[in-house]
Amino acid sequence: TKIKGYPFVVDKAVIGVCDQCGARHFDANETKRWEELYNKNLELKHISLLSDEIEAVRKSLGLSMEDFAYLIGCTRQSIYNWEKKDREKPQSRMADLLIKLVRLSFKGEKVDVISFLVDEAKKLGIIIQTGKAFALANNIIPLNVKRVPQNYFQESQKNLRLAAKVLEEKELTIAESSSQELIGILRYDYKTADLSLEIIKDTFGLRKVDVELITADDKHFIKQNVKFKDNCILLISATEYTENKVKEIFLKPRA
- Confidence (pLDDT) at 138: 59
- Confidence (pLDDT) at 173: 92
CATH 1.10.260.40 domain range(s) in the chain: 2-122
Residue 155: half-sphere exposure toward Cβ, Cα within 13 Å: 5
Which of 186, 244, 230 has its CA nearest to residue 211?
186
Q: Which CATH architecture has domain 2-122?
A: Orthogonal Bundle (1.10)
Sign of CA dihedral 50, 51, 55, 58: positive
- Confidence (pLDDT) at 209: 86
Q: What is the pLDDT of residues 114-143, one digit of tens each?
A: 888 988 888 887 877 665 555 555 577 888
Name beta bridge partners: 40. none
- Confidence (pLDDT) at 50: 92
Query: pTM for the full model?
Result: 0.48
Q: How confident is the model at residue 76 (pLDDT cuts 50, 70, 90)?
A: very high
* Spatial distance between the Cα atoms of 108 and 228, rounded to a whole number of angstroms: 43
